[in-house]
């Protein structure tokens, strides 16, 4: 828990300290409210404004952000797409819970169970890092055991986990939760409300930039 707190605080400190003297743009200041991503990363659909959340179920701060982020996502307009990227930081214990995200997404149980996953790990202290315990938990919560097991151990899910870590490395992610907007900006902020407010402003900035290219 302490290591996760240091990792989260360190992320916000790094975002808040970099390029602090840059001029404000679109009601934001580079280094205080955001850090430019260098090099700029490609997005899946250039016609959309892509927001990435880098997270892990093993991170208590990600659990704290989850309900706020869910409400924020629900208010986004049609030109904004939000994607979640579970990452492992090379931790064996976090590989299984990254696979859990993609497996629940494929089985169609993610929306129903995602809040419960955070609650089980951080509130109820269920050891979902253990694969057997994880399997027992998902079955208890109404997931088809055979379908889950086949998906959880599939090449496709393992590939998604590896790809998530590659994306995190490309964005130079140092801690979670972390938000990136349109492959160009890492969102800063001293607390979650500020982060989401800054993300809103960066979405406006990205939309303006796309309009300027037309």
pLDDT at 28: 64
Q: What backbone phi and psi angles, to 5 degrees, belong to 110?
A: -65, -50
Which two three-digit tokens encode residue 158? 């393992």
Q: How many CB atoms lie within 10 A of CB 83?
A: 12
Give pTM, 2 decimals: 0.86
pLDDT, averaged in runs of 10, over the chain (214 residues) = 48 39 47 92 96 98 98 97 97 96 97 98 98 97 96 98 98 97 97 97 95 76
pLDDT at 21: 28
Question: Would 72 be classed as within a structural domain?
Answer: yes
Question: Would 213 be classed as within a structural domain?
Answer: no
Q: How many domains does the chain have?
A: 1
Q: Sheet containing 178-181: which strands, arranged edge to edge?
A: 34-36, 185-187, 178-181, 49-55, 80-86
- Cβ 54 vs Cβ 180: under 8 Å: yes
pLDDT at 31: 73
pLDDT at 212: 82
Question: Would 179 be classed as within a structural domain?
Answer: yes
> Of the candidates 64, 82, 80, 33, which has an alpha carbon nearest to the alpha carbon of residue 185?
33
Domain with 79 in it: 2-208
pLDDT at 6: 47
Tracing tokens 């393992």 back to the chain, one arrives at: 158
> Residue 9 belongs to a domain with what CATH number?
3.40.30.10
pLDDT at 213: 75
């Amino acid at each position: 828990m302490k290591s996760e707190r240091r990792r989260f605080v360190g992320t916000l400190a790094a975002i808040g300290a970099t390029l602090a003297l840059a001029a404000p743009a679109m009601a934001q200041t580079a280094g205080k409210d955001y850090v430019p991503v260098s090099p700029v990363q490609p997005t899946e659909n250039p016609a959309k404004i892509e927001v990435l959340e880098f997270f892990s179920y093993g991170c208590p701060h990600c659990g704290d952000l989850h309900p706020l982020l869910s409400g924020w996502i629900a208010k986004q307009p049609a030109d904004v797409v939000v994607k979640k990227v579970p990452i492992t930081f090379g931790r064996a214990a976090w590989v299984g819970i990254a696979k859990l995200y993609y497996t629940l997404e494929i089985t169609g149980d993610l929306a129903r169970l995602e809040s419960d996953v955070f609650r089980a790990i951080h509130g109820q202290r269920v050891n979902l890092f253990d694969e057997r315990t994880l399997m027992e938990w998902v079955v208890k919560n109404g997931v088809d055991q055979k379908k889950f097991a086949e998906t959880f151990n599939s090449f496709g899910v393992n590939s998604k986990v590896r790809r998530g870590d590659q994306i995190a490395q490309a964005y130079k992610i140092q801690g979670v939760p972390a938000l990136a907007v349109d492959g160009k900006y890492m969102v800063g902020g001293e607390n979650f409300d500020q982060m989401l407010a800054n993300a809103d402003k960066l979405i406006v900035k990205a939309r303006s930039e796309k309009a300027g290219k037309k």
